[in-house]
Chain A
Amino acid sequence: MRKYILYLCITVQALFASCIREDISGNTPESNFESLWKIIDEQYCFLEYKHEEYGLDWDEVHTRYAQRITSDMTWENLYEVLSDMVNELRDGHVNLSSSIGTSQYRAWFDAFPHNFSDSIQSNYLGKDYVNSSGITWSILENNIGYIYCESFSNGIGDGNLDQTLNSLAVCDGLIVDVRDNGGGNLTTAQKLAARFTNERVLVGYMYHKTGPAHDDFSDPKPVYIEPSDGIRWQKPVVVLTNRRAYSATNDFVNSMNQFPNVTLVGDKTGGGSGLPFSSEIPCGWSIRFSASPMLDPEMNHLEFGIDPDVKVDMTSEDIAQGKDTMIETACRVLKGQ
C-alpha cells in the first residue's frame, strides 16, 4: 500500500513540476518591449512576405529598437517607441492600443489621393436615396443603379438586399461603391458578393500559422463564394475602390474581381489581407496584428491592395464642379462608352 501512495505522491510532484506557464517577468519597459516583439515574431503572418517585399528584418528591428528602451523611460515614451516599432510592419491591421492612444500605420492611405468626397457623393444620391440595413442606394439620372456600402461592420439583411436589388432591376448597370469602407465582417462582405454570381466560384485561399517559427504555416485552403439563394444581380457591375477600401472590403473587392460581369474602377485598394488577431503585453496594452493571410486564386498576396481594371483618380477640375470623376467613369464603363 505504501508503494501505491509513494507512486501517487511522485505523480503529484511531477505534475507540479510540469506547470504550463508563460515566461513573462515583470512589467518593466524592457519586459513589455520583449513581450511585444515576441508576439509579432511568433504570431505575425507576413514577416517572410514583407522581408521579400521591402526587406523587413524583424531581428534587426529588435536590435534597433532595444537601444531606445530604458528602464526609467515614461509610459508615453514607451508607447511612442513601441508604436514606431510595430509601424515597421507597414500594416493597417497592426495597432497598439493603450490609454495613451492607438497606434496606426496610415501611409497605406495618407500617401495617396483620397478619391472620395461625401459632399460630392450627395450630388449623385439626390434626395430620394434609400438607407437600408447598412447600405445606401439610389438610381442615377442615366438609369445606373448606385449602391454605397460604407462598412461591413454591421450585418446586411437578406431581405434588405432582395428589396434593394429588386428595386434596381430596371437599371442598365450597377455601381457598388466601397470607397472609404474600412472593412468589418468577412461574412458580411461575402454575403454581399454572393449576390453577384450564379455559380460557386473560387475566390482565393487562406492559411494560418501553425507554430512560432516564421515559416510555420498550414497549407492554403480554398475559399469559395456560393451563390445566394436570394435575388442575384445579372447585369454589368462596377465596383468603385480607393485606398481606404481595406481589410474585409479588400476581400470583397477580390471576390468581386473573380466574377465575369464585374469591372473594378478607381484607385488601388488599401489591402489588409491578414485576418487580425489580438494579444496583449504585461502593462495591459492590447496589440492587434495580422494572423492569417488571404490570397487570390493565383496565390498572390493581397496585403498591399488590389489594382483596379480602370485606374482613375478624382480630378481637381471635377471636384471644383461637384463631379465625382470615378462615378462618371463607372457610368461610362457601364454604358459601354
Chain B
Amino acid sequence: MKTLIYIEHRDTKTLRIKNKASVPLRLCVFILIVLTCLPTRIQAQDSLQATRHVMRSVMIGAGHNNTFETYLSPLEYEGPEVRFAYETMRMTRLMDGNVSAQNLFQLHASYTENISQTNHTYGGLVNWNYALHYQFRPAKGLKILFGPMLDLNAGVVYNRRNSNNPAQAKAYGGLGASGMLIYRFRIKNYPLTVRWQANLPLLGVMFSPEFGESYYEIFSLGNGGRNVVFTSLHNNPSLRQLLTLDFPVGNTVMRVGYVCDLQQAKVNNLKSHTYSHDFMIGVVRNLYLFHGKKHMTTPPKITPF
C-alpha cells in the first residue's frame, strides 16, 4: 500500500512536470499507460514488496581467542582465531510490517596455546541466531531493533595431549533477547551505516558430561547421567556483540566489523568460556527476491537493514 501512495505521488509530480511542458510527450504517454494498466498488479505485488527486499552480507575475519575448559584443563588457552559470518535480513508482515527477521550464521575456529606454551587446543563452533526484531525509528537515520532470538550452537574443543578426556563437545541452544542500533549518516555526502548488535541468551539447554564423566561411559557404555542441563543467565552468562560499518566503494557496499563473542558456562561443576575478539571484512548485497531463485540487486537505500 505504501508503494501505491508513492506511485500516486509520482503521478502528481509527473503531471506537474507535464504542465510545464518540459517532458517529452512519449514519456507522459508511457506513464499514463503504466498508471492505467498496472495499478491492479502493483496492488497485488504491493504487500510482497517490503518482505522481498533482503540484505545479505558475507564476512570473514580473524582475531584472538581465549578458551577455558576445566573438563580438559584448569588453564586458559590463547591464540588466533578465524571466523566466517553470513547474515540475511528482511522485513516480515508481522506487527504491521514493523518486524524484521535476521539470520546470522557464524563459524569460527581457533588454535590456542596454554600459558607455558607446552600444549595446544583446537576449537571450533558453529552458531546460528534467528532473531525477530521490532524496528523503532525514533529519529531520522536511526533505527532501534529489539526482539526475541533463537540461538543454536555446536562445536568442539580438542586438547592434543589428554588421555580419556581429549575433547569437550559443545552443544547448546535456547531463546534469548537481541537488540540492534542502526544509524545512517553521511560524511561529506558519503553514506555510511553503522550498526551495533547484542545477542543475549536467556533460557536454554546445554549438553555436558558430568564433572568426571568420560565420553566412554556416555556413548560406549550408554551410561549417561545429567548430560542435558537447563541454562540461564546464572550458569550461562554469554553475550555476542557485533559492530559493523557499511560504506560504498563504487557499486559495492563494503562492510567492516568487530565481533566480541563471549560464551561462558558453569554446569555440572565444570567451568568453560570462549572469549573471541575478531575483526571482520566483507560485502553487503541488497536484493529483491522474485519467485523461485531469481533475484535483482537493489540500491543500498532500499534495505530492511
A interface list, Cβ under 8 A from B: 1, 4, 8, 11-12, 14-15, 18-22, 24, 27, 35, 38-39, 43, 45, 186-187, 206, 208-212, 216, 218, 221, 223, 275-286, 288, 291-292
Contacts and interface: CB of A to CB of B under 8 A. Distances in A.
A162 to B, nearest CB: 22
Contacts, number: 141
A212 B211 contact: yes
Contacts of A216: 211, 269
A32 to B, nearest CB: 10
B212 A209 contact: yes
B87 interface: no
Contact of A284 (B118, B136, B162, B210): B118
Contact of A291 (B74, B75, B117, B164): B164
Nearest to A291: B212
Nearest to A16: B262
B152 interface: no
A282 B163 contact: no
Contacts of B100: none
A275 B269 contact: no
B146 interface: yes
A22 B262 CA distance: 16
A211 B225 contact: no
Contact of B264 (A20, A208, A283): A20
Interface of chain B, main secondary structure? loop
Nearest to B159: A278
Contacts of B138: 1
Contacts of B164: 275-278, 291
Given A21-B273, A211-B269, A284-B116, A221 B161 contact: no
A216 B273 CA distance: 24
B78 to A, nearest CB: 13
Most buried by A among B114, B118, B136, B212: B212
B68 A277 contact: no
A291 B70 CA distance: 14
Contact of B223 (A38, A221, A278, A279): A221
Interface of chain A, main secondary structure? mixed
Contacts of B162: 277-279
B65 to A, nearest CB: 15
A285 B114 CA distance: 11
Interface residues of B, number: 51
A209 B265 CA distance: 19
B144 interface: yes
B118 A221 contact: no
Contacts of A11: 200
B75 A24 contact: yes
Nearest 6 CB-CB pairings of A with B: A284-B118, A284-B116, A209-B212, A221-B223, A278-B162, A20-B264
B123 interface: no
Interface string B54-95: 000000000000001010111110000000000000000000
B62 to A, nearest CB: 24
Given A12-B198, A278-B163, A22 B213 contact: no
A182 to B, nearest CB: 14
A124 B271 CA distance: 55
Most buried by A among B118, B262, B268: B118
A276 to B, nearest CB: 5
A286 B120 CA distance: 12
B117 A278 contact: no
A223 B214 CA distance: 14
A18 B273 CA distance: 11
Given A45-B212, A218-B210, A278-B162, 17 more contacts: A1-B144, A15-B237, A22-B271, A24-B74, A24-B75, A206-B223, A210-B226, A211-B269, A212-B269, A216-B211, A276-B163, A281-B74, A282-B115, A283-B116, A284-B114, A284-B116, A291-B164
Contacts of B233: 14
A238 to B, nearest CB: 28
Most buried by A among B76, B144, B269: B269
